[in-house]
Structures are given as C-alpha cells and as structure tokens.
C-alpha cells in the first residue's frame, strides 16, 4: 500500500452547494465536495448550516481544514478526494483584486 501524500493546505475558500476551493503548497487547486462527508458521517450534518460552513479555516501547519474543534478534514483526505482544477492561488488572488477594484469603481 502506498503512503498517502502529505501536501499542505495553504488556503481554503467556502463556495456554494457545500463545496470548497482548496489550495495546496504545490500550487495545485482542488474542488472538494463536502456533501460526501455529510453522507458518510452524521456529525458533518452541521455543515448544512451556512453560518457554520463559512467558518472553515486552514489548520496550523496546513495539515488540513476545520470548522470547529470536532469537525475537520486532513490534507490527505482533501488531496485524495478533491478534483483538480486549473486555478492557482495567485490566479484566485488576481481575480479577487480585480473584483475589488471593479466594485470600488462602481461605488464611486
């Protein structure tokens, strides 16, 4: 059996429909569907509450993500079960900056 990769998480963004955009230290981004966890583990049912779902953050050291002390997911699980997408953290930051500037222009 091959050991599970340990590629640290650098950023996580909560999206609509119980999905997460997860960025890893090797510049790979993955889309992760949390609904799978809800189906497998009843304690993840709490994540259907948008306020709780939005609380997601990267664990210290990038070893996974968590919502509360009881609800978390390891970096290996995110890596193995996520779907790779062609978007880097730098791409996302550039998009966010563009949106911020566009919104500032609209407000003035």
What CATH fold (topology level) applies to the domain 9-106?
Answer: NE0471 N-terminal domain-like (3.30.2020)
pLDDT digits (tens, 9 = 90+) for 12-32: 999 999 999 999 999 999 999
As a whole number of angstroms, the distance between CA 2 and CA 97 comes to 40
Give 48's contacts (C-beta < 8 A, 6+ positions apart). Answer: 18, 38
Terminal-to-terminal C-alpha distance of the chain: 59
pLDDT digits (tens, 9 = 90+) for 34-54: 998 888 888 899 999 999 999
* pTM for the structure as a whole: 0.82
């Amino acid at each position: 059996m091959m050991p599970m990769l340990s590629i640290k998480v650098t950023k996580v963004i909560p999206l609509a429909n119980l999905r997460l955009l997860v960025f890893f230290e090797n510049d790979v981004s993955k889309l992760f569907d949390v609904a799978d966890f809800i189906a497998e583990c009843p304690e993840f049912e709490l994540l259907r509450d948008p306020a709780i779902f939005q609380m997601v953050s990267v664990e210290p050291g990038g070893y996974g993500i968590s919502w509360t002390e009881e609800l978390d997911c390891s970096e290996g699980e995110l890596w193995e079960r996520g779907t790779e997408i062609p978007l880097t953290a730098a791409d996302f930051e550039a998009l966010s900056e563009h949106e911020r500037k566009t919104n500032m222009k609209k407000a003035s």
